[in-house]
């Protein structure tokens, strides 16, 4: 047999400059939102007091991004330099990194953006000098002319990723990209309350903030429903400063997306800081839930390294443990100083009145004034309304009972003994065994099987007696359109009700016509805060409906209610775990009890 002839052409080659440049550019601008982030950072670095982000979409894609600022502008003779990779006005050498206070320093953004799209820059440094218009398309300068424009800079980016079709193909849906952009602009607005931000999509204003506001004002404008559950954090410790807002334990999310962390004015993703915040709450929030927070950490630049990744999204600290411990301590102290009783599920939202009026938000949904109620009355009302909620949930479950289901014969007969911690049912078995049942997990299992069963019966929707109005943030509105179909397939009926406002007219049968508006809001907002793929989304909706419609941990049960849960659980196909896999029942068989007391 003949040996194959070896290929004599060299297999390792040095890439040409254009290819190297394109690969590097791809790291900085991996998706449209990165362009927005880089350009807004440049506008902030230029000392702007007004920044407008204007995005246009066409045929399911982002067709144009324009950022306009009133900053110091770029002198005409320096414009060509600004587009060259690693050209920056912000540092001179690596030594400056230690003291650098600007967001940019790598000199890569404009060069990278121009490498993957068509860019038009109009900039002016003073009202007495003409502005310059400069266009780069396909890597070539095609225009450099004088024009009239106010001081500041406007950068228009079109034909995004025109020369990297693979990148373009992998972009998520338009809704997802727009939601990311909206979230980034919201984040900058929170981190820079003194700057006026405007965000427009297809020339329509989605939101704007008034420069000169405080963080609570801005937060209230962006998240009117949540502002009342936020408490301030503010502390200086040596040269480290932590400030911002964190939520009372009553306001949590199923994921970390509503944790915004700013380090020296930079939006960062820091799993370490996120878990420090979570750690501060300890057992105040369930293990799979995260509080809402906007926290800004300011520290000497020498203590933080932002130069880990081209996008500067991650940072490293030189004294990480000290900083993380400090965050835990400060957040914990802030929580300790707050009135936590005020955040009980139904009574808590009334402290919204203490925050200032919302400002500059082109939405609807002014929060009505609610007079403060005494703590004692609040607690009492909470307990009563908790009892009513539990009764309604159990009644609803019984109405929907699965007709032909038989009790699982492995499920022991039990009688009610009592309840401990408002959370566990204590039950006895005829054979002298003792059982502890997690009331929420148990009822969640019942609800879950009912929701699934309802699927096959094609019994989907029930109209609400009173429609529930949702005031959404701009990014939630955007996300809603992308998940609407799945939500509707599961039985919700949602209709637009004016700008940023939607109205829920129908819910899955399982929730019932009288469902508490707060539960419905919670379900929708949990769906909107997840970034689930469509297949998983359906399962997520099922689980959420099951979870939120189930009797809560902390609800005091009457013996009848407790027995109801036990009986319903015994009829499920899989009574031993909740839909998330946690146990529902823990048994102490009689012989074990005897052994524990050394009777045998």
Note the residues at the interface with Mg ion (CB under 5 A).
Answer: 42, 104, 109
| Nearest distance, CB of residue 36 and ligand ADP, angstroms | 13
Give whichever of 34 and 213 is closer to Mg ion, judged by the CB atom. 34
Q: Least Å distance between CB 106 and ligand ADP? A: 5
Q: Is 195 a residue that touches ligand ADP (CB under 6 A)?
A: no
∠ CA 479-26-60, nearest 5°, is 35
**Measured from the CB atom, is 7 or 77 closer to ligand ADP?**
77
108 is a contact residue toward ligand ADP (CB under 6 A): yes
Measured from the CB atom, the residue of 72 and 167 that comes closer to ligand ADP is: 72
Return the HEC string of 269-318: CCHHHHHHHHHHHHHHCCCCCEECEEEEEECCHHHEECCCCCCCCCCEEC
For 53-92, b/e burial (b = at least 16 CB within 10 A) is bbbbbeeeebebbbbbbbbbbbbbeebeebbebeebbebe
228 lines the binding site for ligand ADP (CB under 6 A): no
Q: Which of residues 30, 37, 52, 73 is near ligand ADP by CB under 6 A? A: 73
Helix ranges (H only) for 500-558 are: 517-529, 534-548
Name the residue nearer to Mg ion (CB basis): 41 or 516: 41
Q: How far apart are CB 468 and ligand ADP at their closest, in Å?
A: 43
Closer to ligand ADP by Cβ: residue 102 or 352: 102
| Range list of β-strands (E), 365-489 | 414-420, 424-429, 434-438, 461-471
User: Do residues 186 and 475 touch, judged by C-beta distance below 8 A?
Assistant: yes
Q: Indicate which single residue of 56, 61, 66, 90 sits in contact with ligand ADP (rule: CB under 6 A).
A: 90
Least separation in angstroms between CB 24 and ligand ADP: 12
Find, among 297, 193, 204, the residue nearest to 243 by Cα: 297
Is 486 in contact with 535 (CB distance < 8 Å)?
Answer: no
250 binds ligand ADP (CB under 6 A): no
For the CB of residue 24, give the shortest distance to Mg ion in the complex, in Å: 15
Nearer to ligand ADP, 29 or 547 (CB): 29
Does 82 sit near ligand ADP (CB under 6 A)? Answer: yes
Is residue 310 at the binding interface for ligand ADP, with CB under 6 A as the rule?
Answer: no
Identified binder of ligand ADP from the candidate list 21, 37, 64, 105, rule CB under 6 A: 105
Residue 277: contacted member of Mg ion, ligand ADP, none (CB under 5 to 8 Å, by partner type): none
Name which of residues 146 to 165 contact ligand ADP (CB under 6 A). 153
Task: Please state whether beta strands 196-201 and 50-58 pair in parallel, antiparallel, or not at all (unpaired).
Answer: parallel
Question: What's the per-residue H, E or C state across 309-374?
Answer: CCCCCCCEECCHHHHHHHHHHHHHHHHHCCCHHHHCCCCHHHHHHHCCCCCCCCCCCCCCCCCCCC
What is the C-alpha separation between 157 and 177, in angstroms, rounded?
Answer: 15
Token reading at 43: 């506008």
Q: Between β-strands 259-263 and 293-298, what pairing exists: parallel, antiparallel or unpaired?
A: parallel
Quick check: 442 binds ligand ADP (CB under 6 A)?
Answer: no
267 binds, among ligand ADP, Mg ion, none (CB under 5 to 8 A by kind): none
Q: Are 147 and 133 in contact (CB under 8 A)?
A: yes
Q: Calculate Rg over the CA atoms of the chain.
A: 29
Please state, in angstroms and rounded to a whole number, the distance separating the CA atoms of residues 331 and 235: 10
Partner from ligand ADP, Mg ion, none binding residue 90, C-beta < 5-8 Å depending on class: ligand ADP
Q: Name the minimum Å distance from CB 103 to ligand ADP.
A: 7
Partner in contact with 72, chosen from ligand ADP, Mg ion, none, beta carbon below 5 to 8 Å by kind = ligand ADP
List the x/- string, 36-65, binding to ligand ADP by CB under 6 A: --x---xx--x-------------------
Minimum CB–partner distance for residue 64 and ligand ADP (Å): 17
Show Cβ contacts of residue 336 under 8 Å, excluding neighbours closer than 6 positions. none
The footprint of ligand ADP (CB under 6 A) covers 38, 42-43, 46, 69, 71-74, 82, 88-90, 104-111, 153
């Amino acid at each position: 047999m003949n040996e194959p002839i070896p290929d004599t052409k060299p297999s390792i080659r040095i890439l040409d400059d254009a290819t190297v440049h394109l690969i590097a550019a791809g790291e900085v601008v991996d998706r449209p939102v990165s362009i927005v982030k880089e350009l807004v950072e440049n506008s902030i670095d230029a000392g702007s007091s007004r920044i407008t982000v204007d995005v246009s979409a066409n045929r399911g894609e982002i067709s144009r991004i324009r950022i306009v600022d009133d900053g110091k502008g770029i002198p005409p003779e320096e414009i060509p330099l600004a587009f060259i990779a690693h050209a920056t006005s912000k540092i001179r050498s690596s030594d400056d990194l230690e003291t650098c206070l600007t967001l940019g320093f790598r000199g890569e953004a404009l060069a990278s953006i121009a490498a993957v799209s068509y860019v038009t820059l109009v900039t002016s440094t003073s009202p007495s000098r003409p502005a310059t218009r400069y266009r780069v398309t396909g890597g070539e300068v095609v225009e450099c002319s004088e024009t009239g424009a106010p001081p500041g800079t406007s950068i228009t980016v079109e034909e995004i990723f025109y020369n990297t079709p693979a990148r373009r193909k992998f972009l998520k849906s338009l809704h997802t990209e727009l939601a990311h952009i909206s979230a980034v602009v919201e984040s900058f607005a929170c981190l820079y309350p003194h700057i006026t931000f405007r965000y427009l999509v297809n020339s329509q204003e989605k939101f704007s903030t008034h420069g000169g506001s405080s963080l609570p004002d801005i937060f209230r404008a962006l998240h009117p429903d949540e502002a009342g559950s936020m408490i301030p954090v503010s502390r200086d410790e040596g040269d480290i400063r932590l400030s911002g807002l964190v939520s009372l334990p009553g306001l949590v999310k199923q994921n970390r997306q509503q944790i915004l962390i700013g380090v020296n004015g930079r939006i960062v993703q820091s799993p370490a800081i996120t878990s420090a915040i979570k750690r501060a709450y300890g057992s105040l929030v369930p293990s799979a839930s995260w509080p809402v927070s906007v926290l800004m950490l300011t520290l000497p630049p020498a203590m933080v390294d932002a130069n880990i990744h081209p996008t500067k999204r991650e940072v490293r600290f030189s004294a990480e443990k000290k900083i993380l411990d400090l965050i835990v301590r400060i957040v914990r102290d802030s929580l300790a100083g707050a009135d936590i009783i005020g955040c009980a599920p139904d009574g808590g939202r009334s402290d919204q009145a203490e925050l200032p009026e919302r400002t500059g938000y082109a939405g609807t949904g002014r929060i009505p004034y609610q007079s403060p109620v005494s703590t004692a009355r609040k607690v009492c009302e909470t307990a009563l309304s908790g009892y009513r909620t539990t009764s309604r949930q159990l009644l609803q479950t019984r109405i929907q009972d699965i007709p032909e289901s038989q009790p699982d014969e492995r499920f022991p007969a039990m009688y009610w003994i009592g309840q401990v911690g408002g959370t566990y049912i204590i039950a006895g078995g005829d054979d002298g065994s003792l059982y502890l049942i997690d009331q929420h997990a148990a009822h969640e299992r019942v609800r879950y099987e009912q929701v699934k069963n309802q699927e096959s019966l094609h019994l989907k929707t029930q109209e609400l007696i009173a429609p529930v109005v949702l005031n959404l943030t701009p990014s939630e509105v955007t996300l809603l359109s992308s998940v609407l179909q799945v939500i509707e397939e599961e039985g919700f009926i949602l209709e637009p009700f004016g700008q940023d406002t939607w109205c829920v007219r129908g819910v899955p049968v399982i929730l019932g016509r009288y469902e508490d508006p707060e539960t419905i809001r919670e379900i929708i907002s949990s769906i909107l805060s997840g970034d689930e793929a469509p297949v998983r989304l359906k399962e997520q909706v099922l689980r959420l409906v099951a979870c939120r419609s189930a009797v809560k941990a902390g609800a005091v049960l009457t013996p009848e209610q407790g027995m109801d849960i036990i009986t319903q659980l015994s009829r499920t196909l899989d009574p031993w775990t909740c839909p998330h896999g946690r146990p529902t029942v823990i048994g102490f068989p009689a012989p074990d009890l005897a052994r524990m007391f050394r009777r045998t």
